[in-house]
Chain A
Amino acid sequence: MASSVFEEYETIDLFASWDSKRQPVVQLNNLKKWFPVSQQSLLFSKVVANIKAVDGVQLFVNKGETLGLVGESGCGKSTTARVTVKLEEPTEGSVYFKGVDIFQPMKKEEELVIKRQLQMVFQDPYSSLNPRKMVLDIIKEPYDIHFPDMLYEEKESRVLEILAKVGLEDYHALRYPHEFSGGQRQRIGIARALAIHPEVVLLDEPVSALDVSVQAQILNLLHDLQKELNLTFMFIAHDLSVIKHVSDRVAVMYLGKIMELSPTGELFRKTAHPYTVSLLSAIPRPDPRIKMDRILLEGDVPSPIDPPPGCPFNPRCWKAQEICSKKTPTLDEIRPGHYCACFFPEI
């Protein structure tokens, strides 16, 4: 097992049938998460519509890689992440972690084992840490939950060890979150997620609240930790240059669906989906010499309550034809490892 550190505490082996060489660590199958919108009448409330935050996501993450998940606000990236770590129940579809369906009925202990190995780092380093707790207690909490039998001294020494790994000092353990800067807080959030040696870490916009000079420090830290601890990352961001920097493969989301999934290099060189093309052309480059032929999209992202029929991108797409508003394109493999959901992909 990957986390030999905790072998003495681990009693259940859930993942006996999992083959790390052949099977992905995380697999999302036709995942849907709809949030009901209800209207209150005199006595009863009735569901009048659904916000289709995630609407049929098909995705897999291989061991040791970084999968970048990119999209604009409201496209369902964060909801996908929250379902993947079992913070939300899916409306439809399933999530397999190491070959085990995490939403099947299971014992409490089994669920804890799964949750221990799926951890998350949140976007806002200001609101994701409890202001009334010392850093020591914040990072110790995962041990309290997952290893209640562990001795206090051991927990403490493990906290100091992980603090050193994320570049903080011993004395920081006795301070409160407000005493830290944004970048340091994000380090604490990362330490908390890594404390119990997860297999997969979901990073939900971990650097978007930080200044660029601090952002670079955190990106480097994540890179080093991934190498050292053999972690698998699912990295969510809206900034394509960050995504390009960190990811091995990239998934582009739009209105709850995956539009394109491809190895990073190929996505940027041989972009297939019109939405990805327009997304790439929209980024202002920090170099006055680069003159872009920009594709300006018309209008806004449609509401996920009432997404357009067919391909969700068709009302804004310059390549759209009749079929696009009638049939929903499937995510097909157009080149080895390169998937695209479009009837008329760029070749």
Chain B
Amino acid sequence: MNEKRPLLEIQDIYTQFFTESGVVEALDGVSFDVTAGEPVGIVGESGCGKTVTGHSILRILPKNGKTVKGKIIYKGINLLDLAHNQMRSIRGKEIAMIFQDPMTSLNPIFRVDDQMTEVISLHRKVNKKEALGIAIEMLESVGISDAEKRIHDYPHQFSGGMRQRILIARALALQPSLLIADEPTTALDVTIQAQVLEIIKEMQKKLGLAMMLITHNLGVVAEITKRVHIFYGGRVVESGPTEDVFINPQHPYTRALFDSIPSLEKDKTRLDTIPGNVPRLINPPKGCRFHPRCKYATEICSRERPEDVWLGPKRRVACHHYEELDLDVDEETMRERVKIKEEV
């Protein structure tokens, strides 16, 4: 493998679902890459294609879904070309995934030790006893106290936060190179979320893991990731280093998204809103998919799909009018941005 090549390259993929009411264009030309050891955030609202991206990579789409075009290159191999049994050796071993709902991701009728050792002995050449040892060790490392005893419990005997830790432990037991975490803390309370985020951060650093963190929570992304891709309507509208995207958003959608969340730091009586709703992806809007809700939209936006504009080596935005956005920025924000640019 070429050292300089990213671990995972997603090149212009189109994933579609064939339903009775029409073709859902869930992913419409998505490209990005993940470098080894790098935590990357995938952000967007419901139905923007962030989860479908994860499922497309692992090829676990439902029967009516298919990635019809594009390449997903992992360590130099196009995953879309692999046979089913080859794909099975990638899942879990190379690319692991943890899902949103810790209540349903564990089988309620098997004890945790069965569910963990099954995965470990399937992919690693160890006997049962060794597998159990690895499992206990992993549980300890994610902060489950008394792991030796508790591993023999059933999932319902654990709380939500503990179950999510078990899932993290199970995913990491196979030493994958890439972890896809789909809304790992959304179902948890804030104080428990803080605990789990701490563990994710720690494990990511310790194992030098590449991670794709899929979430709608901008706070979680800011905390964990170094790079972020903003999704809207099945496309990447903006990407770049997290700090830069958060402080200096270039796409009207990203800007509006930040303005519409209530902040703990600022006082405001009215929030800025984005009119309308998230688009449905059967017959999505033509041209730029954000144009019906965008205040900068002109005629060209409804006609032509905006191309990616590269603003830096890892910074891009897909908008016809991104240059006009800066005209509306107030002085204070501008000053702050200049300061950040100098620091960088």
Contacts and interface: CB of A to CB of B under 8 A. Distances in A.
Give the interface size class of chain A.
35 or more
B246 A300 contact: no
Interface in B248-289: 256-258, 260-265, 267-275, 277-278
Contact of A282 (B190, B261, B265, B277): B190
A326 interface: no
B118 to A, nearest CB: 27
Contacts of B159: 300
Contact of B189 (A73, A214, A242, A246): A73
A68 to B, nearest CB: 12
Interface in A205-222: 211-217, 219-220
Nearest to B244: A288
Interface in A181-203: 181, 183-184
Contacts of B223: 284-285, 288
B271 A219 contact: yes
Nearest to A71: B189
B218 interface: yes
B274 A289 contact: no
Given A211-B216, A288-B222, A289-B247, A220 B270 contact: yes
Tell which of B191, B216, B256 has the most Cβ of chain A within 10 Å.
B191
B35 interface: no
A296 B270 contact: no
Interface stretch (B56-64, B70-78, B193-201, B316-324): B193-201
Interface string A275-298: 000111111111111100010110
Interface in B177-232: 189-195, 197-198, 216-223
A241 B220 contact: no
Given A220-B270, A300-B162, A284 B217 contact: yes
B222 A285 contact: yes
B242 interface: yes
Contact of A216 (B192, B193, B260): B260
A320 interface: no
B307 interface: no
B155 interface: no
B100 to A, nearest CB: 14
A266 B46 CA distance: 35
A300 B271 contact: no
B39 interface: no
Contacts of B233: none
Given A72-B192, A283-B264, A286-B219, 14 more contacts: A73-B189, A181-B278, A213-B278, A214-B277, A214-B278, A216-B274, A223-B270, A241-B263, A284-B217, A285-B219, A286-B218, A288-B242, A296-B194, A300-B162
